[in-house]
Amino acid sequence: MNQATIVAALKNQRIETPSWGYGNSGTRFKTFPAAGAARTVWEKLEDAAEVHRLTGIAPSVALHIPWDKPDDWAALSSFAVQHNIQIGAINPNVFQDDAYKLGSIAHPDSSVREKAVKHMLECVEVMKITDSRDLSLWFADGTNYVGQDDFRARKRRVRHSLERVYETLPENSRMLLEYKFFEPAFYFTDLNDWGVALNHCQALGDKAQVLVDLGHHAQAVNIEAIVAFLLDEGKLGGFHFNARRYADDDLIVGTTNPLELFCIYAELVSAERSSDTTLSSHAKAVAYMIDQSHNIEPKVEAMLQSVLNCQEAYAKALHIDFEALQAAQEAGDVLEAHRTLMDAFKTDVRPLLETVRAEMGVPSNPIQAHRQSGYLEKVAEARGTAVGGGGFPT
Ligand code: AFD
Ligand code: MN
Ligand code: MN
């Protein structure tokens, strides 16, 4: 790919940040309140706007309902416009109400399933107000004991509940179905792997797509291969980027396994540049979203680092010599193919990124600019140190 094409692609890169990543969060053992952590949806939008101001590639923020539900949606929408930030994916919450102790859309009690469907239908109405394309669905549904429930009955409850929501999706919108191999249920999770999510999405229709959360796989699962398969099926809706060491740790994306992140971007760039226009347009519609909780690191700087790590992985993937790679692969030249991909991974793209940022009118070193801006000190002064407020149990 020539330099001009690489630069243009980098200028068009988009990463969505999660509202919940700006508020206090912690583990089941402890939440350490952070000075200046966002307490309200307004403050989360301010922080998201700061990340976009410093990078130029994070123009939207995902919301989580009801955590981020304002009294006045019109006011929130104009606040977003004033801060040059768009509202992105809408995430229903069907895992924190007491009624959901035994699950939501797979619950044995139809009135609980109805409650969950009703909440998702409300979120579809929110999408119409915020002009969001994506309804981002994750379910904690599962069981803790053998014999607790009937697997097939639960599968049918899930499918029927999703069908009820799917049929109300507005034109040009999508339902992104996220899977997770365990947690909070310990014996069985209803949407536990990409095959289950894909099967439901294929049964539901074109507007249902799979959401790949990097932290939602067992150790050593080859995620880039899953991405390639879903892309080829036209069923890759998007990502929840993060990093993991052991479980769903929601660490800063690209920090524990940068090669994995690069290989994921390699599949996306390869699909985007494909001569198969169905595949390339599908790849170009992928939602690149971060899903992280920053428990011990400064929130805005952590989100900045995440966006920059995605930018770097994408820049490296754009340097892959796909022609040479394909030739080596087809010749069965194992090490030449490996070296060709690794050459791109080893490319130092930092000088290029500094140039691209300068051309975009954003700081060439966003982290340094953020640290020198006094933003953290300003919001810490204004917001103090709240307990709670991020949404996740605190
Ligand atoms: C938790 C879940 C899942 C979901 C996110 C936001 O594991 O990743 O997407 O919360 O609701 O991280
Ligand atoms: Mn997620
Ligand atoms: Mn998760």
What gap in Å lies between CA 258 and CA 77, rounded to an integer? 36
- Tell me which ligand sits closest to the C-alpha of residue 62: 1
Distance 284 CA to ligand 2 centre (A): 21
Closest among 193, 232, 226, 273 to 8, alpha carbons compared: 273
Please state, rounded to an integer, the average pLDDT across all residues of the chain: 97
Percent of the chain whose pLDDT exceeds 90: 97
Q: Is the CB of 213 under 6 A from ligand 1?
A: yes
Tell me what the mean pLDDT of segment 176-187 comes to. Answer: 97
Tell me the average pLDDT across 340-346.
Answer: 98
Eight-state DSSP code of residue 111: H
State the pLDDT at residue 387: 76
The torsion defined by the Cα of 163, 164, 165 and 167, in degrees rounded to 10, comes to 70
Question: Residue 176: is its pLDDT beyond 50?
Answer: yes
* pLDDT, tens only, 10-32: 999 999 999 999 999 999 999 99
The per-residue pLDDT for range 245-272, each reduced to its tens digit, is: 999 999 999 999 999 999 999 999 999 9
For 26, other C-beta atoms within 10 Å of its C-beta total: 18
| Best of 22, 135, 138 for a ligand 1 pocket test (most atoms within 8 Å of beta carbon) | 138
- The per-residue pLDDT for 336 is 98
- Domains annotated for the chain, with CATH where assigned, are 13-321+364-383 (3.20.20.150)
Q: Kindly state the tokens that stand for 289.
A: 């979203």
Position 386 scores a pLDDT of: 85
Amino acid at 271: A
Q: What is the mean pLDDT of residues 70-90?
A: 97
pLDDT in tens, 99-113: 999 999 999 999 999
Alpha carbon distance 200, 155 (integer Å): 9
228 in Cβ contact with 269 (< 8 Å)? no
Write down the pLDDT at residue 388: 65
Q: Check residue 391 and give its pLDDT.
A: 60
| pLDDT computed for residue 394 by the predictor | 42
Q: What is the pLDDT of residue 393?
A: 46
The SS3 of residue 126 is helix
State the distance from the centre of ligand 1 to the C-alpha of 201, rounded, in angstroms: 19
Q: Is 178 in the pocket of ligand 1 (CB under 6 A)?
A: yes
Cβ of residue 46 lying under 6 Å from some atom of ligand 1: no
Expressed in angstroms and rounded, the spacing between residue 95 Cα and the centre of ligand 1 is: 10
Please check the confidence at residue 359 and state whether its pLDDT lies above 60.
yes
Which residue's CA is minimally distant from atom 5 of ligand 1? 291
pLDDT score for 1: 87
Residue 390 pLDDT exceeds 90: no
Phi and psi dihedrals of 38, rounded to 5? -65, 140
Judge whether 254 and 306 are in contact, CB under 8 Å: yes
The residue-averaged pLDDT of 321-342 equals 98
Residue pointed to by tokens 């895992």 = 95
Distances (CA, A) of 128 to 41, 88, 125, 168, 171: 18, 12, 5, 11, 10
Q: What share of the chain is helix, strand, coil (3-state, %, to 5)?
A: 50, 10, 40
pLDDT band at residue 392 under the 50/70/90 scheme? low
Closest approach atom of ligand 1 to CA 248? 7
